Structure 1
Amino acid sequence: MLDQPLDLNGPWFYEPDTKRTVLLRGVNLSGGAKLPNGLPTHVKNGYWVDYDRNVNFVGRPMALEDADEHLGRLRDWGFNFLRFVIIWEAIEHEGPGKYDYDYIDYIIQLLYKCKEYNLRVFIDPHQDCWSRHCGGSGAPGWTLSLVGFDPVAFDVTAAAIVQNTYPNPEAFPAMIWSTNYNKLATSTMFTLFFGGKLFAPNCIVDGMNIQDYLQQHFINAVMQVVHRIHKEGSNKLENVLVAGYDTINEPSEGYIELADITKFRDKVDELKKGWTPTAFQGFMLGSGIATDIEEWDMTWSGPKKQRIVFVDPNGTQAWLSEADRQTADNTFGWKRSPEWNPGCIWAAHGVWDIAGRKPLIPNYFAVHPKTGERIEFQQLWMQHIQDYAKSIREVHTEAILFVQPTVMSYPPEFPSDFKRLVYVPHWYDGLTLVQKTWKNYNIDVIGLKRGKYGTGPLKYVRALCVGEKSIRKCFKDQLGTIQHEGRDRVGEYPCLLGEIGIPYDMNKDSSSSTSIFSYDFIKTLLSFVCLNSVKDDEDEESSINTPSSSQNRAMDACLNALEGNLLNYTLWTYVPDNSAKWGDRWCGEDLSLWQAGNNGSNARDIPAIHRPHPRRTTGTPQTIESTLATEKQVATFKYTLIPNSDSKHATEIHIPEIYFPAKSTSVEVTSGTWEVTESRDQYWILSWYPTWSETPCSISLSGVVFTKAALR
């Protein structure tokens, strides 16, 4: 049972009583928390009924009676940390200031269950694209009514693409949900959340600007959980189990810093897929005005424009009529200022002219409206983070703040008096995630974004990495870059990859792109460059649970990159009710480590998950090297550290029984002694007592080969 808090020691986590370094190997619990009971995103019936005020999140992501099964499984797999997902909508869905205390009680009970299985947590107030009603998750539906949006009209006006309202939910395009970040609904909400006082000064509700109103309600909702955890008493949940709090998941700048509303941002990592309006085109469509927009698709070198399409909302607006807005106002009880007129907020603030159908201030969101100075989103984000941290630490005084700025961006520099931080960036192998295939080539996205490969179309060729060895090195280098940026700009604090994972629903269609850079073209190009053939994945065994499967190779490449940089991490994700047909039941994603198989087995029992992990280290970690078992190669593991002078406490290594049987695994140490201190059916704990030294020492394990009989 956990009996001491997690603390910080420069770039490391550690236990203050034993002085041991703690390497956190974790998982997000859970993507399933995003959804209310009975409303996965592929279901239309019941969506947006009575502003979705009466939804219920109690039991999401798992029923309490199932917690022992799932949390026990995570412990057996060697995880020791959870990114514990909570949802603003789940807390405050009924209306402003109306909290669901049954949901909060459920959270507390689930946290106690986590404690039983020694799974420390940090709380993540999760969102994607603002809310479920914008095609993501997070904020309650009333926030959209407050701003004057009508989610029923988002589809026809291209204000958002939502699986619940998609004509054929089964054909919902892969990963298209994230394009909502650049569409009218989500972009407007985030612009108001972070910059309402600058860009929407007329939006006053209950005597405060919309920015303050939204931020205050978000923080107050999270504080309901903070207060409830604190109320449990000293050393029950606070500090010992709950190490701290994440900042808002994957924040978006909305329109802030957009140089020209008639053009796209120049961002290497921006996903463009399907209908892709500019901000100005989104304004017009949202106001019922037909216009031509671009349609894009994802190719090997990033998004590519495919064609121009004509979109006609036929007068339907994404904004509530005056009468419907008044009904919403009466329902929720807020009072708007007389200056806040119905319809498009941005037209009302003079950004564009509805009658003339033309932009008036193209750079409206890039400069300060009064001073003309350039606006920096990170400054606005930092102001919110400081308010958020202050509120939490007034109650949970020792809370660690897990900070994540916008995805793939440089982290901002933090004030010197801002203490107890952990840098929590996210990273995914975007090519595999979007195309749902594991290829023999990949792209160094971080290098591209940081300008490593110059400019022009040839930068993509220069950023290519070909072959498994090169891909693995590329992943390791990208994560290393992210880690060092955090050290340089956030400070000498730990780095934890808050999200990283793979799609398990990888397909075999490698030629679906309509770009001139088709799969066959890439095969020919790479074969010419490398003077050998490019390996296809179509010849592989069909089972994902073998060493050669695409899923296993993709996951192992990610975990190898994490271990190669000694990074703490929480994988995305573990979804208890993952479905063979609907995946994670959210927007077509299927990244869950778990899917129920026959006789309670895991249909996704890939070898890469089962690897030794040094959970506590008496000293300073230096390197981790893992080699997975194949039919011909035994599993191996090597851990190197510089020991400290404390000889009373062991370095503890969690070892999976499946590939490293306790009775037959070979163990070699270059210093000290070792013993088995715990043995269970699924794993055993090796305690190593290295002799104090100023030079590195190591422990090496040699296990068994892979056999199909070992699959469970």
Structure 2
Amino acid sequence: MDVKTKREKNLLRDSFSLIKTERLTTDNNGNFVQPSTGRVVTLHGINIASCSKLPDIPYQTSYLNPNECGFYSDADFVSFVNRPFPLEDAYEHLTRIKLCGYNTIRFIFTWEAIEHEGPGVYDVDYIQYVIDLLKIIDEVGGLYVFLDPHQDVWSKFCGGSGAPIWTLYAAGLEPKNFEVTGASKLHSMCSDPSKFTKMVWSTNYDKLACQIMFTMFFSGKMFMPNAIIDGANIQDYLQNHFIDSVAFLLSSIKKKAPSLFETCLIGVESLNEPSKGLYGLQDMSKISEDQNLRLDETPTVIQSLNLSMGHKQTVDKYSLTSFGPKKVGSITIDPHGVKSWVSNDKMDIHYGFNRDKKWKLGDCLLSQLGVWNSKTGELNHPDFFSKNPTTGEPINESTFINIQYLSFWMKFKRKLRTIDENIFLIMQAPVLQIPPHIRKTKYVDDKTVVAIHYYDGMTLLFKSWNRFMNVDTLGIMRGKYISPMFAIVLGERNIRKSIRNQLREMKRECQENVGMKAPVILTETGMPFDMDDKKAYGDGDYSSQEAATDAINFAIEGSSLNFTYWCYNPENCHKWGDRWNLEDFSVFSKDDMVAKNLDFTFGETSGTSSSGRISSYSEWITTAGSESTYKPNEHITFTGGTINSNSNSIGKHSEVNNSEVELMSSVFEPRNTLGRLLEGVRVPSAIIRPYAVLVNGSVIDASTDIKAHTYSLEVDSARLTPAPSLEPTVVFLPEKHFPPGKFEVSVDTGITKCKHDGIYQTLEWYYDENVGKVHLQVKNTSTSKSAESRGKFIMFLHLLTCGLL
């Protein structure tokens, strides 16, 4: 984008911001609050971007041949500058995001991006790039940001993303041998990367490399007391470097752009989707019962350990059915003596590691601890990870979350609090697990937020929207059913309700265990677009994608959750999706654009006034019990008042009455380049949705019917935060559903005022405080009239057929 003047850049802030960003507070109900007005803020956001998982230089994707893209050879010297996109492209992408109604960004970065060259060596160029991008986000305005140190199965060298290669060498592992020894399954090693098994990458959580790394990271001192490097146990060594890298990024922002903390930068997440590793495993000779995802080759831990030492193993092979994983045979893996463990100290010298002499390279660390015999393959202690080696007490997922994870969280919290006392710190415990029991403890403060993730498992794994059957995944995990058969949900309507109820339950668990005051954010959820073998890319029928996306958003609305949707990827294409392990979640794709080369340039157009507005805007008013009217080119005056929902009289409004509101209305300009930015947004009817941006009180329930084009909102008008001045509840009303002059607004109390400037459409709703529950409904009149006409025509045909006409 060519931006000629600073004034032209500020058009974005002046014309298209749904919200004025400022440092937020919270209330006692776990809501984010805008201090200047006391209104509750809904974080309605998007993850940017999945392409940030892998470096830009050398350019890498998960499917590229590792020998041709510097995957191993250039691992120390990668650059994540321009991830997620070059600075000059930021205005285009950020504006598109705002046009979709999003007001929050979960900013994806990896540990590798910061500290890839070696322990304590930070990439200051990347840090500066992040700061410059955050400044642009702040300049664009209307967008909150929180930082997410992202990982998937530990590292891209384990088939995911996250940690730099030197962390694996610090653990005594040789990542170049992971594929041949079955320690990880990499997309790039597949004979035909386009046929990589759906979601098989996530089985790496239960393969050796990822298991060893997370066991060391969270429980090294418990299970591997002799794993000492640079004078520290591997647990402290890895945790300290990770936390220090995040702290370096945050402190650099604080030093170079401190004003961002008062405007757009609101928080930092702890660690994306942490795993317990081997902690709590009951029997190393068996596949764990809680290992629900079994795809392709599925070794037991002892088989993985034997493979890691080069021993041939025959392991079970699985595929997935509608009723869960099913064993379909076996497969023999022969590493031919190749090991997952480094055989010499070459990398220790390269990275400057000072490894304790008791930690012998070339042999499995667990064998050195006597857990098994790496020469004979015999397993000595199958229950080694099922209990605390010191006390003998049994351990499980709950003890991991409430002890091991909390130890890390406290270290993370203390470090980052030294940089900024008021930034939100976002706790993310293992996915779909019950959060830690820390209500009213030192682990929680007034700036603690809880993150949860949710994906519909069946849609994710089968990449198809099943309108007839689904399962209550959370209910199964919580032991709600005596048999998984009872967790089956039939019918699309019930499936939608089931997803909504699961989200409500997850939110309730967070509030119960962490405290009502801690806000809950669904930081990841989404639906794949490459459903049914990419059928939609050929015939253009996105009805399944739209239905699935609508279902998850319906559930979010009905749960009153803050969220950041997964995801936005500027590089998405139909062939490779998000260019990472065949995932295809991006709400935007260039391959879905009509105009592939969009010239996104600000200039002096007929719609740009000297005051810096891209187009003039129209406003219209409705009161309780009346229909909205849209009259361009007229002056409209209205004396503020509130309709008593129990009568037809107008009652005085304490803040608005007797003050005349005069609104100038004029014809808005035709769609320009900004409007065309919505090209490439996939299933826009399901993605671009109305929602309450700022609320006087708190949202009880909300619902969007994308077929009928109606939106309903229920608010508890009781305010927990005193209002400095009367400000309205603000609702985003996207033109996609509610074109100007073609919708009705109904409220049971108060006054509404609609604004439209050619791009953004908002509704302001004024009502008295503490009047109980208040309701609003918006209805697209053009669609309803069409439906009415169709109904009359059908009735006419029926009567004609019956011979009554």
Instruction: Give TM-score, length-normalised by structure 1.
Output: 0.90
Distance in 2 (CA, whole Å) between partners of 1:438 and 1:705 is 29
SS of the counterpart of 2:261? Answer: coil
Q: Which amino acid aligns with 1:598?
A: V
Matched, 1:425 2:499: no
Shift of 1:680: 3.3
SS of the counterpart of 1:310? Answer: strand
Shift of 1:123: 0.7
Q: Which residue of 1 aligns with 2:388?
A: 368
Shift of 1:508: 5.5
Distance in 1 (CA, whole Å) between partners of 2:681 and 2:117 is 38
Shift of 1:705: 6.2
Shift of 1:302: 1.9
Q: Which residue of 232, 239, 248 maps to 2:256?
A: 232
Shift of 1:270: 2.7
Shift of 1:637: 0.4
Shift of 1:198: 1.4
Q: Which residue of 2 aligns with 1:520?
A: none
Q: Which residue of 2 aligns with 1:312?
A: 334
Q: Which residue of 2 aligns with 1:336?
A: 355
Do the aligned residues in 1 keep the contact of 2:528 with 2:585 (CA within 8 Å)?
Answer: yes
Aligned length: 662
Deviation sequence 1:621-666 (CA, Å, 0-9, x none)? 111021003xxxx300011112247561011111111220122221
Q: Which residue of 2 aligns with 1:6?
A: 24
Matches within 5 A, 1:383-402: 383-402=407-426
Q: Which amino acid aligns with 2:264?
A: L
Q: Which residue of 2 aligns with 1:264?
A: 287
Distance in 1 (CA, whole Å) between partners of 2:72 and 2:509 is 45
Q: Structure 1 residues 49-58 or 251-260, which shifts more? A: 49-58
Inter-CA distance 194–571: structure 2 relative to 1 (3 Å threshold): same
Distance in 2 (CA, whole Å) between partners of 1:619 and 1:374 is 46
Distance in 2 (CA, whole Å) between partners of 1:463 and 1:47 is 47
Q: Which amino acid aligns with 2:476?
A: L
Matched, 1:33 2:52: yes
SS of the counterpart of 1:374? Answer: coil
Distance in 2 (CA, whole Å) between partners of 1:705 and 1:354 is 73
Q: Name which one, 1 or 2, has greater alpha-carbon Rg.
A: 2
Matched, 1:278 2:300: yes
Matched, 1:502 2:522: no
Matches within 5 A, 1:66-77: 66-77=89-100
Inter-CA distance 302–706: structure 2 relative to 1 (3 Å threshold): farther
Shift of 1:354: 1.6
SS of the counterpart of 2:385? Answer: coil
Q: Which residue of 2 aligns with 1:358?
A: 378
Q: Structure 1 residues 579-588 or 308-317, which shifts more? A: 308-317
Q: Which residue of 2 aligns with 1:543?
A: 540
Matched, 1:159 2:183: yes
Deviation sequence 1:421-452 (CA, Å, 0-9, x none)? 21111010010011100112101110111111
Deviation sequence 1:298-329 (CA, Å, 0-9, x none)? 2112222221222211111111112xxx1111
Matches within 5 A, 1:274-673: 274-322=296-344, 326-342=345-361, 343-375=363-395, 376-378=399-401, 379-414=403-438, 416-417=441-442, 418-419=444-445, 420-439=447-466, 440-454=468-482, 459-492=483-516, 493-507=518-532, 542-545=539-542, 549-596=543-590, 597-600=593-596, 601-602=679-680, 604-629=682-707, 634-644=708-718, 646=723, 648-673=726-751
Distance in 2 (CA, whole Å) between partners of 1:469 and 1:577 is 34
Do the aligned residues in 1 keep the contact of 2:718 with 2:772 (CA within 8 Å)?
Answer: no
Structure 2 unpaired stretches of 5+: 1-12, 14-19, 597-678, 785-805
Q: Which residue of 1 aligns with 2:222?
A: 198
Shift of 1:539: 12
Q: Structure 1 residues 312-321 or 561-570, which shifts more? A: 312-321
Q: Which residue of 2 aligns with 1:696?
A: 773
Q: Identity of counterpart residues, as a percentage?
A: 36
Do the aligned residues in 1 keep the contact of 2:282 with 2:383 (CA within 8 Å)?
Answer: yes
Do the aligned residues in 2 keep the contact of 1:52 with 1:141 (CA within 8 Å)?
Answer: yes
Distance in 2 (CA, whole Å) between partners of 1:47 and 1:580 is 25
Q: Which amino acid aligns with 2:764?
A: S
Inter-CA distance 211–307: structure 2 relative to 1 (3 Å threshold): same
Matches within 5 A, 1:166-177: 166-177=190-201
Inter-CA distance 51–151: structure 2 relative to 1 (3 Å threshold): farther
Q: Which amino acid aligns with 1:700?
A: Q
Q: Structure 1 residues 576-585 or 364-373, which shifts more? A: 364-373
SS of the counterpart of 1:623? Answer: strand
Instruction: Give TM-score, length-normalised by structure 2.
Output: 0.80
Q: Which amino acid aligns with 1:17?
A: S
Q: Which amino acid aligns with 1:635?
A: H
Matches within 5 A, 1:46-57: 46-50=69-73, 52-57=75-80
Q: Which residue of 59, 65, 85 maps to 2:82?
A: 59
Distance in 2 (CA, whole Å) between partners of 1:705 and 1:648 is 34
Q: Which residue of 1 aligns with 2:111?
A: 88
SS of the counterpart of 1:231? Answer: helix
SS of the counterpart of 1:94? Answer: coil
SS of the counterpart of 1:130? Answer: coil
SS of the counterpart of 1:53? Answer: helix
Q: Which amino acid aligns with 2:460?
A: L
Deviation sequence 1:9-36 (CA, Å, 0-9, x none)? 1221111221101111111111111010
Distance in 2 (CA, whole Å) between partners of 1:29 and 1:544 is 27
Q: Which residue of 1 aligns with 2:64?
A: 43
Distance in 1 (CA, whole Å) between partners of 2:487 and 2:782 is 35
Inter-CA distance 670–87: structure 2 relative to 1 (3 Å threshold): same
SS of the counterpart of 1:244? Answer: strand
Deviation sequence 1:78-127 (CA, Å, 0-9, x none)? 11111111110000001111100110111111112222231101111000
Do the aligned residues in 2 keep the contact of 1:51 with 1:141 (CA within 8 Å)?
Answer: no
Distance in 2 (CA, whole Å) between partners of 1:90 and 1:404 is 21
Do the aligned residues in 2 keep the contact of 1:36 with 1:57 (CA within 8 Å)?
Answer: yes
Distance in 1 (CA, whole Å) between partners of 2:474 and 2:381 is 33
SS of the counterpart of 1:98? Answer: coil
Structure 1 unpaired stretches of 5+: 510-537, 708-712
Distance in 2 (CA, whole Å) between partners of 1:704 and 1:169 is 49
SS of the counterpart of 1:397? Answer: coil
Q: Deviation above 4 Å: which 4+ runs of structure 1?
A: 538-541, 644-647, 704-707
Do the aligned residues in 2 keep the contact of 1:239 with 1:398 (CA within 8 Å)?
Answer: no
Inter-CA distance 189–239: structure 2 relative to 1 (3 Å threshold): farther
Distance in 1 (CA, whole Å) between partners of 2:539 and 2:488 is 28
Do the aligned residues in 2 keep the contact of 1:658 with 1:682 (CA within 8 Å)?
Answer: no
Deviation sequence 1:353-377 (CA, Å, 0-9, x none)? 1222111111111222222122321
Shift of 1:704: 5.7
Distance in 2 (CA, whole Å) between partners of 1:258 and 1:642 is 46
Deviation sequence 1:566-603 (CA, Å, 0-9, x none)? 11111111001112211101111110011012214216
Q: Which amino acid aligns with 1:48?
A: F
**CA-atom RMSD in angstroms:** 1.9
SS of the counterpart of 1:85? Answer: strand
Q: Structure 1 residues 219-228 or 364-373, which shifts more? A: 364-373
Deviation sequence 1:35-86 (CA, Å, 0-9, x none)? 1011111111124333610111000111111111111011111111111111
